[in-house]
Amino acid sequence: MAKCPACDGPVGEPHPPECPTCGVRLEGTTEAFAPIGGTQEETGTGVVEDGVGPVLVVHKGPDVGERFFIDRARLTVGRDPGCDIFLNDVTVSRSHAVLELAGTEVSIEDAGSLNGTYVNGVRVDKAQLDDGDVIQVGKFQMMFMNRGGS
């Protein structure tokens, strides 16, 4: 069975226009997709194997399908190229938010951004993330997936 390039969820035959799991727009076949980071990678907090572990997947806005693996205790999010998760759009503050990983738990904290940080459509200062939560930073909407976590 074919898999979605963004979330690796199953995609039926014939391919629908959007992934039924994460909603990313599908174009053409996904059978030849080579996952990013498909090899074992050593990280500061453990081992990430074949994309197992917490990840943000862009599903609306610029760079649809891009994945950001949450593989360290602290990741900065913003428009500054020095941020760990670089989101290149004027709707994103230079230093927009911070993701924190503690064991299998992930939280996001707004860093005083102008446009705010949203989880499931609600503006938050700080929030614990659950599998399937939708995070919005500027024009970027990202789905949080905690595969292999809680």
Give this prediction's pTM: 0.66
Q: What is the 3-state secondary structure (H, E, C) of 94-119?
A: CCCEEEEEECCEEEEEECCCCCCEEE
The confidence score (pLDDT) of residue 31 equals 41
Closest by CA to 100, choosing from 139, 129, 120, 80, is 129
Position 148 scores a pLDDT of 58
**Whole-number pLDDT of residue 131:** 92
Determine the pLDDT at residue 38.
Answer: 37
Q: Residue 45: what pLDDT? A: 39
- In this predicted structure, what is the pLDDT of residue 134? 95
Q: Which residues of the chain have pLDDT under 70?
A: 1, 5-8, 12-18, 22-52, 148-150
CA 62 – CA 69 distance, rounded (Å): 18
Q: What is the pLDDT of residue 122?
A: 95
